[in-house]
Chain A
């Protein structure tokens, strides 16, 4: 396997220009929603609204202002598939369409996917959706075709402020740590990294520098794999089965006792 590769997205220099969205669509030949004829969302400057089967990069806009404007900021963040080291979609995929590549990225093989949607409900970040044109599940491939040709992914190439940085994960982690320390020393105490270590799904190969709680950006603080819930669920099921069994036994016993009582009563009656 080649070295694990991925994205470090430094939201502190994101200018919300959406060049990543357009570069992604241009390279991957993804259509605009409804041919580009859509309505204003009314949600800040976000009109593509969410990641989807035809929207593999999505810039979020979060307006935070106090009523008197004494404090205020406008956060922007380019969202994308996290290429999790422990990827829920990959685990959930029944056909084996979702694979881990030699770059440690997660890719849905379009010729294998049968559109069953198991991966959609498995993903804790809401990244995957069905592309209505192909009826298969689609998401960011981290430009697998470009990587194989030794090129930088289209979004990172287009990003004018280097908010989206591409490279070997080990190097990106060092860069992110240095940037975090710099921001802290400049008094930006709210800055934090997200997904840079194993604590989140074994590590996100697309990780972030955020300026607020993950929830502010619509990211879960503690995302779970469906499979991590399996032991608990199994225990609970066993317990439930035992309880039900016991209840059944109790019930049966009661029935029997009732029957016995009735019989004896009848016997008594007979007496």
Chain B
């Protein structure tokens, strides 16, 4: 669901094809019949944007038919935990949870949530504010964390107490019946029930089911909750932490996983630690620790990770006396996500921008973005070709129409030619968290240089510029460690390119080492919060455990008769574990749930966890180990708690903290929807979704008769993203040479459109023209008794390159999921008409 794996991840789909050869069943739930559907055993249509209704229907089916994995649910999830009496569900409040309040200024939201009522009911009263005051006075970080430990949560292992998570979940989804699924999603009830049967038949001790998603789930104003719904379902079925289970996130680009681990994210520093934030209580290092450290579970080690990170940033200048340079570290003060940044640019608040491998001129609400780009003083584009972003000032539709005049655009554009992947050495991290090294095959031509070269050379020049500054604000940059030049005499001789940084030195900083001896660290268990270790990214610690041993370059697959976890192939963070939370692959007593699905188990003789994978659990903690009352860190968990990163060691069916938009997934319609919300008529859309107000970001109202058709955008195998790597290549351009719009024969007949006719597609933001591809692979769905038409458009085109076409993103809008600020390009409203 939410992915078109065969088309967009064909190389990974190899393993789906292999599983099919071995008898696995493949189900594809999608608004369009795609090349993935073509290979599926069962194709199930649904209206774009209704995945939570569909998944909620499955959750209800599993609970009401008692198909959940009882031993797993009771022992490994928070099903038995009791939630505070003050909590009110969407069933009580007609579509919202308790804690909804008006949003403060500047959040681009109408409402936000206060999650106080969503918390676990504790066995004793706990005053967090008072505990924090006490903790602040502690001598060490460890003592500080200890003082923040709350009393244990109340539980009812029979799951009968009405305020247990299990009963709340049951009530929450009670109205997601197969009939309701059919009404909302347009999915025939029989097909929905067939999916439910296949799913439950293939889950349990002997079998597991995997969900695979991609942008079809994420690109919604409730994208995170789509995935949350799948997580809830998979936990109920016992499909997490076990071979062949889980939820596989297919990333939208090579090493996107790597770029969130060692992040280019605006709100996170390395290893998923929160970015120091002026809006939160992060004033001092201690404040940061108190606000961000979860006192129980593995995250209680945060002080070790953060101090080691600060040491990697500021080296010897970071000392206990100056809080390891914490005050030098930049703090964010607002939403710096993609749309928020362009929103600011549109208002003239941003002077300059770097675009590396990004083509915003063809991105979300492209017309508005291109107008925003014209407000910049300068712009650096580093890419393989002169992409739309670099050429917006003389070739965009706004220039063609005369609205923008090149001579009046002040933006100075610097176009730097980029080296391609085969011309660079480095690592890729895939969606399974495997870090894989790739070598350089050839020098790049001409002036093309790697991103590492560019960043390194820019930093060296900036360091020189700042060298003599005495301004306090520049001290952080002055103290920033930047030692990536090759050692004298070590620069590679088989290249004409000069000035590349030594990537192994960068890796040394990422992996970490002991500050006194320089000895590389063997794993994050060695990290300290006293400044004696440095490590940029704790989750990558151990990938480079000693000189001459760089595990991402390791290529030792298992032989054919072995279990096939391939621990000798590349390095999977954390600690080379291939399946996260794999303690759950054994039963509470530590024995495999079944012979067929064994992975990691307790060996009573050796008194340790053993198996085919690296155990994701303290190696010698026996299954019968009790939790230590009042303890911090891992001692707070018993030997039956696989989810070591969570405070209670349990998989969260109900999510008390961490999500902006509610502890349980709830069906809302897309911001632009042809129909009202049948489940919660008072709240048609996500009440806390982000909407970036702008005169060029108008939205169609629910059921707007001018825009009755649902558009979903997507990608094709033959092109890559905005086409910057494919539309310039003749061999790829000829495979999908022109922009098209996929239309069902029914809609085509209604509109008098023939195959290959030019069609005009209009949303509240813009208009594009495309050739019609009339195909029965699209179909109208009956939603709440009425037909709803869906059309599909790939968004690879732009006005530069060999194969050119209109920018489909000129139709999309600046609306976003409130957790991760992703846009909603999978479901929006348009009209279509024959162009001539």
Q: A interface vs B, CB < 8 Å?
A: 13, 15-19, 21-22, 25-26, 31-40, 42, 44-45, 47-48, 63, 65, 69, 72-76, 160-163, 179, 182, 186
Contact = CB atoms under 8 A, between A and B. Distances in A.
- Determine chain B's interface SS by DSSP, over half rule: mixed
A15 B13 contact: yes
A177 to B, nearest CB: 14
Contacts of A162: 14, 17-18
Contacts of B13: 15, 160-161
B735 A18 contact: yes
B738 interface: yes
Given A32-B733, A36-B731, A74-B35, A161 B775 contact: no
A39 B729 CA distance: 15
B773 interface: yes
A21 B731 CA distance: 9
A31 B730 contact: yes
A44 B775 contact: yes
Nearest to A35: B730
14 contacts: A15-B39, A16-B38, A17-B7, A17-B10, A19-B10, A37-B803, A38-B737, A40-B740, A63-B777, A73-B38, A160-B14, A161-B14, A162-B17, A182-B21
Interface size class of B (residues with CB under 8 A): 35 or more
A36 B38 contact: no
A265 B802 CA distance: 88
B697 interface: no
Contact of B738 (A15, A16, A40, A65): A40
B39 A13 contact: yes
Given A16-B38, A38-B737, A74-B38, A63 B775 contact: yes
B134 interface: no
Contacts of A37: 733, 737, 802-803
Contact of A36 (B39, B716, B734, B771): B734
Q: Which of A31, A36, A39, A162 has the most CB of B within 10 A?
A: A36
B732 interface: yes
B733 A63 contact: no
B35 A36 contact: no
B7 A69 contact: no
Contacts of B486: none
Contact of B6 (A15, A32, A39): A15
Q: Which of A26, A31, A44, A45 has the most CB of B within 10 A?
A: A45
B37 interface: yes
Interface of B: 6-7, 10-11, 13-14, 17-18, 20-21, 23, 33, 35-39, 43, 45, 716-718, 729-738, 740, 755-756, 771, 773, 775-777, 779, 802-803
Contacts of A34: 734
A52 to B, nearest CB: 12
B11 A32 contact: no
Nearest to B744: A69
Contacts of A19: 10
Contacts of A44: 775
A32 B35 contact: no
Contacts of A63: 775-777
Contacts of A45: 35, 716, 736
A242 B13 CA distance: 66
B83 to A, nearest CB: 44
A22 B6 CA distance: 17
A31 B733 CA distance: 12
A15 B35 contact: yes
A32 to B, nearest CB: 4
A93 B128 CA distance: 90
A194 B352 CA distance: 61
Nearest to A70: B188
A184 to B, nearest CB: 13
A39 B20 CA distance: 36
Nearest to A30: B731
Per CB-CB distance, the 6 closest pairs between chain A and chain B, nearest first, are A36-B730, A32-B730, A65-B776, A36-B733, A161-B17, A74-B38
A189 to B, nearest CB: 15
Q: Which of B14, B37, B730, B734 has the most CB of A within 10 A?
A: B734
A41 to B, nearest CB: 9
Nearest to A31: B730
Contact of B731 (A25, A72, A76): A25
Contacts of B17: 13, 15, 161-163
B758 to A, nearest CB: 11
A175 B394 CA distance: 58
Contacts of B21: 13, 179, 182
B734 A39 contact: no
A36 B802 contact: yes
A106 to B, nearest CB: 25
A65 B777 contact: yes
B431 to A, nearest CB: 16
Contact of A42 (B37, B716, B756): B756
Contacts of A186: 23
Nearest to B16: A161
Contacts of A17: 6-7, 10, 35, 717
B755 A42 contact: yes
A33 B734 contact: yes
B10 A160 contact: yes
Contacts of B779: 69
B185 to A, nearest CB: 15
A25 B735 CA distance: 12
A244 to B, nearest CB: 52
A69 B43 CA distance: 11
Contacts of A35: 730, 802
Nearest to A34: B734
Given A45-B736, A47-B734, A36 B23 contact: no
